[in-house]
Amino acid sequence: MVAEIVCVGTELLLGDIVNTNAQHISKELAHIGIDLYYQTVVGDNKERVWNVLDTALKRSDLIIMTGGLGPTKDDLTKEVAASFFGKKLVFHEQTYEHVRKKLESYGINEMTESQKKQALVPEGSLVVTNPAGLAPGIIMAQGDKAIVMLPGPPKEMKAVLAECCHLFINRLSDQVFVSINIKCKGPDELPLREIGEAPVADLLGDILDNENPTVATYAKEDGVLIRVTASGKTREDALTAMQPVVTKIAEILAGKIAWVKEEV
């Protein structure tokens, strides 16, 4: 199962907001055990969103989209996704009632036509109520391809993604990924010639060519970080697979390690 993230929003392209959504989704997919090869940011333009979605569905099985589910004219994610799968938008009573009650809780007793738009969903889709806002999450599947649409505001995205994982995404993977981070001591603790990424990589040698678990080095301001990642049917299986490699790294870098932690 290969996933791809498509974040919709001109404000992302302009740098008005930081794309924390992609970071959160990436981590969630890694925990579930779903491969992620591509991330794309596209502005609020129907033709460009269509083209990005077309490319994504040709190379990936699961597309997770964020943004563009609101009430304004430039919110067009579900319209493009629905048309791509040849579906029309239909009225969803449960979403309408959810939006109405949410607005009433904000002191708004009359819904505008734009706000009613959020109750339109692609026919045949699985609609996921948004506990933190108005626009629902939407899951569409056709053949061996699926699109999951999430609201853009991070608080709402996280809440809806969690439910989408429970209802659908978790079932797409038969493995889990676990990562162990090994932090080397920094420049205040060791000579610079011993702590750079290149010297550490040289010491690790062929370990960096491992496939399961994989081992990668990252240069940080306060020292090199080594990430060991293994996959398995269960968390315990993954930890068992990586233990010999973690032990070997600890032996090679004896005296140079600041701490070892499981990534959460």
Say which residue, 86 or 74, is predicted with more confidence.
86
Which architecture does CATH list for 176-262? 2-Layer Sandwich (3.30)
Q: Up-side HSE of residue 241: CA atoms within 13 Å toward CB?
A: 21
Q: Considering only CA atoms, which of 185, 184, 179, 183 is closest in space to residue 262?
A: 179
Give CATH 3.40.980.10 domain extents, the chain: 2-172
DSSP string, 123-146: TTPEEE--TTSSSPEEEEEETTEE
The per-residue pLDDT for range 23-48, each reduced to its tens digit, is 999 999 988 889 999 999 999 999 99
Radius of gyration of the chain (CA): 22
Q: Considering only CA atoms, which of 52, 43, 59 is closest in space to residue 81?
A: 52
Domain 2-172 belongs in CATH node 1.10.3720.10:
no
Give CATH 3.30.70.2860 domain extents, the chain: 176-262
Cβ 145 vs Cβ 110: under 8 Å: no
The per-residue pLDDT for range 62-76, each reduced to its tens digit, is 999 999 998 888 889
d(CA 48, CA 74): 12
Cβ 254 vs Cβ 185: under 8 Å: no
The per-residue pLDDT for range 111-125, each reduced to its tens digit, is 888 888 899 999 999
